[in-house]
Structure 1
Amino acid sequence: MIIFGTKGYLYQLAIVTLVCGRCGNPAAHTLRKRVTKFTLFFVPLFPVSTKYATQCTFCGAEQKVTTEQAEQLQAQGSGEFGGQPYGQQQQQPYQGR
């Protein structure tokens, strides 16, 4: 008897600020990667499909994006274009009296 199937994995790649196409608000959007892997005896072996999407944190609308768009958004979210990496605080200069 051979047991096989698929299993889905969801990865959060970045958080970027975009204007939502549904609600029109400039809000944070999570960039997510969904990978479906083929499994044999409950062991994931290789990816069958990979899809990318952004989700608005204001209204919850989800929009599919291409691989190229996902790479650009991930680079934007990681701070390669002068932005602050997510989760790091910006240091304020000390103003002594």
Structure 2
Amino acid sequence: MLIFGWQTRVHTLAIITLICGHCGNPAAHALRKVVTKFEFFFIPLFPISTKHYLECTWCGASFPVAKPQIPELLARANAETMGPAQYPQPVAGSPHAQWTQQSAPNTPPTNWQR
């Protein structure tokens, strides 16, 4: 009868765009946290080990991450999601300038032809 053991869980903390050290592609990397906990009668009690790694979504390669680098990577991930859009803005007078006009919801721009 088995009354103790360990349980391993993987948590995805962030998705960051980086250049992969294995394949060289600029791809999304998942920052993952692996926590192994001691369990008694299938109840997880306390963590035995915690590890962090980056996993390339393009080639699947994984790279260990040192503990001091984690806050920097999380800040970079937050800057990517909260920062301004990286798309070029249309030039005034161009045919696509109408897309930036503020209008009421579900109302087409005024310069559409019917």
TM-score band, normalised by shorter chain: 0.7 to 0.9
Counterpart in 1 of 2:40?
A: 40
Moved more, 66-75 or 21-30: 66-75
Identity of aligned residues (%): 49
Counterpart in 1 of 2:81?
A: 84
Question: Any unmatched runs of 5+ in structure 1?
Answer: none
Question: Any unmatched runs of 5+ in structure 2?
Answer: 86-98, 103-108
Equivalents in 2 of 1:61, 1:94: separation in Å? 44
Q: Which structure: larger Rg?
A: 2
Counterpart in 2 of 1:17?
A: 17
Q: CA deviation at 1:84?
A: 2.2
Q: CA deviation at 1:71?
A: 2.1
Root-mean-square deviation over aligned CA pairs: 2.0
Higher relative contact order (CA 8 A, sep 6+): 1
TM-score when normalising by structure 1:
0.81
Counterpart in 1 of 2:101?
A: 94
Letter in 1 for 2:101: Y
Q: Does 1:70 align with 2:70?
A: yes
Equivalents in 2 of 1:20, 1:69: separation in Å? 16
Letter in 1 for 2:67: T
Equivalents in 2 of 1:9, 1:2: separation in Å? 20
